[in-house]
A = this chain, B = another copy of it.
Amino acid sequence: MSFFPPSLETLIDKFASLPGIGKKSAQRLAFHILSLPEGEAESFAAAILDAKTSVHCCPVCQNLTDGDVCSICGDARRDRSIICVVAEPRDVLSFERSREYKGLYHVLHGVMSPMNHIGPDDLKISELIARVAEGEVREVVMATNPDIEGDTTAMYISRLIKPFNIKVTRLAYGIPVGSNLEYADDATLTRALEGRREM
């Protein structure tokens, strides 16, 4: 049943396709777009296109950037001997917010998940191994989520790195097991970093 003009239905469907947005919320958002001044709606659409075209992965750490390398890899003050391996770009934000970590990152863009047919080759693992092989790195902190898929991915990668004779550590379980890095508070993340242990 469609009671709205087709172009409005299309916009509602687009919003409803976003994660965590249901049909009712999508309607509310679409009506909000219609109520915006003309220029505001245009700049919303432009922001989508702009982000999509200008944002790409940093060739070093695979974090999102719109420059040649990301601002963290390009920062000469960061400790280049330690790499923190995270699953998603938003996890970098969580660590940066805690202001305790001064090393570099590596973003895997996912975790191994046989249920969803995501294997090691679908992640940025070979890029991590290449960085480790360059010889400057002394420690790799595995900071994937403390759940089954995150643990499996951390274990898999740690076995690949061990032959390089480099310390591989895992975040301390200051983070409640089964929860999500994205929602950890700064103090918990800081303690988890301090208590990291060799794996």
Contacts and interface: CB of A to CB of B under 8 A. Distances in A.
Contact of A4 (B8, B49, B93): B93
A87 B64 CA distance: 44
A156 interface: no
Centre residue among A4, A28, A33, A64 by max chain B CB count within 10 A: A4
B24 A48 contact: no
Contacts of A121: none
Centre residue among A7, A42, A92 by max chain B CB count within 10 A: A7
**What is the count of identical protomers in the complex?**
2
Interface string A51-93: 1101100000000111100011000000000000000111011
Given A1-B97, A4-B93, A24-B182, A51 B30 contact: yes
A185 B178 CA distance: 37
A7 B52 CA distance: 9
A41 interface: yes
B88 A50 contact: no
A51 to B, nearest CB: 4
A20 interface: yes
Centre residue among A19, A65, A92 by max chain B CB count within 10 A: A19
A48 B52 contact: no
